[in-house]
Every structure is written in C-alpha cells, then in structure tokens.
Structure 1
Amino acid sequence: MSDLITTPFGAESTAEEVIAGVDLAGKRAIVTGASSGIGTETARALAKAGAEVTLAVRNPEAGAEVAAEIARDTGNQAVHVGELELSDRRSVRGFVAAWEGPLHILVNNAGVMATPERRTAEGWELQFATNHLGHFGLTTGLHDALAAAGGARVVDVSSVGHLTGGILWGDPNFLNHPYDPWAAYSQSKTANVLMAVEIAARWATDGIMANALNPGRITSTGLIKSTAPTAMAVGPRGADEPGVSPKNVAQGAATSVLLAASPLVEGVTGRYFEDCQEAGPVVPGIRRGVAPHAIDKTDAARLWALSEELLATPLPEGR
C-alpha cells in the first residue's frame, strides 16, 4: 500500500494539536458517547474550533454537566445534549427524528467492550447491537442531513481489537455459538471499519466521507467499566501487546479529531487510521495495522445488507 495517507502528527499528538488553526464556525457535529473519555475530549476539541456540537449520550444529566464544562472551557455556548441509547432502536429513531438541518461531522465514538453475555429486547448480542447496529441506524438515519452539509465526514471509532476476528456470518448474535466476550467485541469493531468502507462506496456521490480508526490503548475511560472482570483478567492478548503504547485521553482523541476536521484528510474516505496516520496491512505478531477482513469490499456490502435486514424487523413489544 504505497499510497498510504501520512500526516505530521503521531501517537503522542493531542486532539488540540491536530486541530490547531482549523476554523469550524458554521459546522455542526454529533459525538456519541461524549459524556466521558475520548468522546468528551473529541467534543471539546471540535467546540474549541468553533463547531456547534451535540453530545449524544445515554445519561442526559451527565451529558449536561459535560456540556457545561466544555462551554466554560472553550467559550463556545453552542454545546448541546441529546439522549441516545444505541442498543434501543426507538431511542436511535427518536434522536434521528429530532435532528433538524445539515450535519457536517458525525463521530461514532460510543461503545462497550467485552461485556458479560447480554442481549437487547430483540435478542441481539449487546456489543454488536451497541457498537455497530446502533451506529448503523444512526448514520443511515442521518444520511440526508449529512448529504445536505456538503463534504460531511463520518468517523467510526474501531479498535486494534478488530484484528482478533471478523464477522460471525450466519450467527452474529451468538445464538448458536458459545458466547465469547472478546470474539463479540472483535466482531463489532470489524463492523465499524466495514461500515466506513461501504459508506465510501455508497455515499461518495453525496459528498459524504467516512473513515475508521484505532484510538490506541486508553485505560482511563468509561469503556473499561463495561468490561467483564473475567475478560479483563485474560484479555485478548494480556496487558502487553506488541506495537501498542498507552495513551492519555487527549492523545486518544487525536485521530478521531484529525479525521473529523483536519484539512490534511480532505477527500479521504473508506480508510483506517491509527496514530494519526493511515494504517498499513497488519504484520503478524504486531498488534498494529488493519486486517484484510475489515476492509474487504464484498464483506462490507454483505454487512450493510445484514444490518438493514436486522433493523427492518418489527420493534419489540412493550418498549
């Protein structure tokens, strides 16, 4: 891959550094999972650059506190909160229905990791439902708003965990396979990349760009809280992974912010980044790079069709 996109930034760059000098006045952004961790830092950086930012969060009260903090820190009062529970289709549809006007930046940041076996009201495995299907429904539901913006960007926060495995075709919800928290997480993170690949194929004529990324290992975030204790004990590769360096929150948000707003990646779409650079193919034994199964165009189209099929099923009763 000799045409990899490179930037002057790297693993230690912060969100504020990659967006320095960028003026987002007049731009509107949504960041999911923005009440903690790299979601908060992503929203803060976009707001500091002048964007109108909506924090899409499960807990509106916690979101309001973060929004007020960001407004104080940045001087930007156009920081809003919207309630969004990604594992609940009614919540996703309600959020989409409430949105008015164009949308320039959508950062699909929220997620859960290696949870105990849990299911939605539909019986869908929670990580696949939250990390992928919820964001798929949100993004496709906001298509017209993104198209209206002209040059909109979708940013899908994936993980190095996608390297561990792809989509469990035929049984993505672990109905017939023994549940494994890391296999389910890997599947959902692969799905994040595949969605960006397919958006690039489907929506380029609408002026919509989409890219995925690995934010790096950030241990001081709410994502860790969702992880099953047994999963944390064993981990996909244990505490030390070759090629993976710990980051603080400001560094962890840098690649998301780069893809959301930097002119350095204007027009770039359907790619996977880490440490503010486009990632090359995975190297055996090193937990870096992108796996072939995550950027396979046939699988991207197949996952899109599967996702549409699942989201078209009748809503569960009583909710």
Structure 2
Amino acid sequence: MTDAQAPTIALLVSGERGRRTLARTIQGFGYRLVFDAAPERVQLSELTAVVADLWLLDMPDESALVDWLLESSPVPVLLGSGEIPPPEDEDHVRWQRRLLHKLSTLLGEPPQAPGILLPEPRPLPLSRRCVWLLGASLGGPAAVKQFLDALPAQAPVAFVYAQHIDAGFESQLPHILGRQNAWRIRNCTEGSQLQHGDVLVAPIGRALRFGADGQIQLQDQPWPGAYQPAIEPLLDELARVFAPDCGAIIFSGMGEDGVAACGRLRRQGMEVWTQSAASAACATMPEAVRTAGFSTREGTPDELAAALQQWLEQERAADA
C-alpha cells in the first residue's frame, strides 16, 4: 500500500487545540486527512461532498451534523477520541496507542510505521469487565428502568446502581426495575462477582467495595457523608478496580452527590453522561455534573441506552 492508497479520515472536532493535535497524530500514524474543520464553521451541505473511509467526531452531541452523519454516513463514524492529555504528560502516549488501535481496527494498518514511539500494550486479563455506574435520586427508578428496558441485556456491560432511597425500599428495587427486561438485577451478596448482564443495587446501610478480582465486599461501616448510598466514593471505587473499562450515567435526582468524582473520572479519559433536564423528574443532580463541565453526552434514558449500545460496539471492535 502506498501513501496515496492509505485510508482516509475526515475530522470534525470542536476546539482548536484538540483538532490540531488529532490532525497531527492521525497524519503521524500514516493515514490521510481529507477533511479537517471546526463544526461551527461547517454547513450540512458540505458534508455530502466529503469522500473518506472514516469520520472522527469530537463535538457536542446535539448537532445536526452529528445526527446526519450517524444516520446517513456510508462509512464508520467514530465518536470521540477520549480526553487528550498534554504532550508532556506520560498518558499522552497511552492515548495515542488507544487511538491507533481503534483506527487500525476499523481501517486496517497504515502503510507506514507510525511516526511516534508506542509502548507495547499489556495483555488484558481474562476477567476484564466493563462496569458503569448508574447514579440517581428523586425520579431515578423510573428513569433507570426506562434506560434498562431500552438496552439489550446481552450487552457486554455490568452496572452498579446507586439510588438515594429509603432503606425499606432497597430490597424492592430489583423487582421494580426488572419487569419487562432480562437484566439480572440483584441486591449485594458478600463475595459474589459482578458479571456482564448484572445490575447490582448498591446497599443503603453499608459501604461497598470490590476485591482485586471484582468480588463484592460489604463494609461494616456506613457510607461517608450525607448520602446513602454515596455516589462519590462508589464512583471512585469503580474507577480504582475497573478503570479504564468503566463510566457513569447520572440520572434524575436532587443534590450534587458525585460531581467531584465525575471530574476525576473524566480526567482519566472515561465517559460521564447525564440525563437531559427536560426528561428528568428532578434535573438538579445531572445538571450539576453538566454545569461543572464533566458531562460528555446528555439525553433521554432511551437516547442514552442507544448511545451506550453504540459505544460498547465500538469498544468491542477496538479490542478485537
């Protein structure tokens, strides 16, 4: 394969620094860049004239450009490249490696060796699991049930569901959420492991941790702070054990539990999504995350389910 035959990429990225970094990195890999523009300066009619083997988007989700490409593009559309660490940061090379792996999986290897030094990836453990936190408070059960009903239970993901609720309702949540879907929704059992297809209800009165192999560990002490269960330490715990294969969705609720932990998750390059204000019974909690700048996607429960299914398919293709 010659350079002229190299796979082509079209870039549509908000933010000048990120767009320059992506353009330089993609060309350093040996791919050809055939379109590179700021979304706010692009008309929809321009997209129809672009001929590329892949679109790479990193921009606000509520955009006519994104909608058109997802619905009409004849070539793969890769959503997001992850948060880009500064070039002097040791994580920058890891980010480059992850991006190259995704691109080469979708497009094939570039015609020349990448123009960067990439460390050899470590083998993934056989027990690797993708685990996302579902955080909610007032109005949460209805929103989370709608989300689970719309997402196939065969999806390669497990959830930990942190719902601010009276302790008397904890044991009822699996029955409430499990009607009309095939997810394994269960309360915590000491020593059991979290597997894909599980929705684990975080306990109200006891803090939850995970062992090195993902086994459930119920603590003798209660959750710290005012919230039961507390999203903040639980999200930090998931990141400690399951990163980088984890993320968070913050649904309807009051308060600001988890905002700081969402920021820490984003700084590690992981996804944080929020329920849209218009679809939430109480938008205070998801809006606090969005206002802090930590939400990378927002939508209704149905829209978030569809987006997660697509995200999981892309991640699975990148890891194949």
The answer to whether the superposition gives a TM-score over 0.5 is no
- Structure having the higher strand fraction is 2
As a proportion of its length, which structure holds more helix? 1
* Higher RCO (C-alpha 8 Å, min separation 6): 1
TM-score class, shorter-chain normalisation, is: 0.3 to 0.5
Give the structure with higher Rg (CA): 2
Structure-2-length-normalised TM-score: 0.37
TM-score (norm 1): 0.38
